[in-house]
Structure 1
Amino acid sequence: MPRIDAPTVAEHRAGRERALIAAAHTLLMAEPDRIPTLAEVGELTGLSRSSVYQYYTSREDLLSAVVSEAFPRWQERLDTAIAAAADPRGRILAFVRANLELVADGEHALARTLALVAPSEDLARRSREFHDRLLVPIVEALTELGVPDPETTSELVNALVHAASRRVEQNGDLERAYAATEALLEPYLRG
């Protein structure tokens, strides 16, 4: 019987699951072009491969758990930034900045990596749903500003964020990428 290192079995299990997700996250960030094996994830957490299988039945199962943990964290970070803004213009710029900060922190690379190395139908569906939820406050802000086609414009704002994200990944200059994106958006942000 394995040693339980928490007050309850449920807490022990939850702690192990968190450790495995963190290890998978670390390995994905270190080698973004490949999915780590369960043995590699187990080794990083001090568990045998067979022990990892008690928590996740496959790499796909573990990746799904990584996504389930990451998406809400990203959503919360964006929601917090947007909620702190005083007006529609500020909410859009907060969305841009928060996304670029996620890129600078390395979190966005995880999403890109998962999309590239694990393009399962379930992950693609969940990513689309997540993406659609992220843009809701942008559509609302653009509507408040009187932009004629807020849905299309929100996708264009997001495309600018993706382009600015690539610049941050290339040169690490978040402020320069943010300033350029803000300048391009300015004509649409006058309410």
Structure 2
Amino acid sequence: MPKIEAGSVREHRAQRLAQLIDAAEAILNEGGLESLTAGAVAARVGIARNSIYRYFDSIEDLLELVVTREFPAWIDAVERTVAAETTPEDQAVAYVRANLEQAARGTHGWRASLSRGSLSPSARERVRNLHTSLHETLARVVRELEQPQPELTVAVLQAVVDACIRRIDQGDELTTVSDFAEGAARRLLAHDHR
């Protein structure tokens, strides 16, 4: 039986999986997708090549784990920020702000580019589902505002978020982009709510 490096087998497994994802991220950052191989990941972590398959079925599965790694924390941060506000309008603006803050603190840009071109169809579907669960937070808030065009309002607010995240990924300053996005959201909500 292999030696475990944690208090329990479960903890060891979680630690090892995190090490494998960290290794894959480092390899992707250094050499791009072409350099991500089972051998390179195993060597980086210091385990036998075939041992990595105890944690995922293929390199494509590992790539999916890399791309989706930040989603749970991102979704949690957005939901907490939205919940901290008391009015639906402030919650909608908080949704916009929180998404931009998450984009600025993480590695969204290269994860998004991997997601667009390198994932299997089932992995892309999983990413879409994660985005959908995040968008549901905004949809719920907009429903509370009783907007005359709730689906269109959600679509436009999400388009503002997406465009501003792209600007942050390109290097624009968070404060400038966030101030613009929050102002646009407030104007849209004030206009739609009449």
Normalised TM-score (structure 1): 0.85
Kept in 2: contact 1:27–1:41 (CA 8 A): yes
- CA 1:61–1:184 in structure 2 vs 1: closer, same or farther (change >3 Å)? same
- Whole-angstrom CA distance in 1 between matches of 2:156 and 2:11: 44
- Whole-angstrom CA distance in 2 between matches of 1:126 and 1:34: 20
Local SS of the residue matching 1:100: helix
Unaligned runs of 5+ in 1: none
Alignment identity in percent? 35
Kept in 2: contact 1:32–1:110 (CA 8 A): no
Partner in structure 2 of residue 87 of structure 1: 87
Kept in 1: contact 2:39–2:49 (CA 8 A): yes
User: What whole-Å deviation, never above 9, does each CA across 1:83-142 have from its counterpart, x for those lacking one?
Assistant: 111211221121111111122113322540331232322112212222221112212222
- Superposition map of 1:135-146 within 5 A: 135-146=135-146
Partner in structure 1 of residue 186 of structure 2: 186
> Which is worse superposed, 9-18 or 75-84?
9-18
Q: Once superposed, what is the RMSD of the aligned Cα atoms?
A: 2.4
- CA 1:43–1:94 in structure 2 vs 1: closer, same or farther (change >3 Å)? farther
- Whole-angstrom CA distance in 1 between matches of 2:122 and 2:65: 12
Q: Which amino acid aligns with 2:6?
A: A
Q: Which amino acid aligns with 2:33?
A: R
Partner in structure 1 of residue 56 of structure 2: 56
- CA 1:68–1:164 in structure 2 vs 1: closer, same or farther (change >3 Å)? closer
Q: Which amino acid aligns with 2:161?
A: V
Kept in 2: contact 1:34–1:117 (CA 8 A): no
- Superposition map of 1:101-120 within 5 A: 101-120=101-120
Count, aligned residues:
190
Partner in structure 2 of residue 34 of structure 1: 33
Partner in structure 2 of residue 149 of structure 1: 149
Kept in 1: contact 2:160–2:181 (CA 8 A): yes
- Whole-angstrom CA distance in 1 between matches of 2:31 and 2:72: 21
Kept in 1: contact 2:97–2:178 (CA 8 A): yes
- CA 1:10–1:181 in structure 2 vs 1: closer, same or farther (change >3 Å)? closer
- CA 1:142–1:15 in structure 2 vs 1: closer, same or farther (change >3 Å)? same
- Whole-angstrom CA distance in 2 between matches of 1:148 and 1:27: 49
- Whole-angstrom CA distance in 1 between matches of 2:63 and 2:140: 32
Partner in structure 2 of residue 25 of structure 1: 25
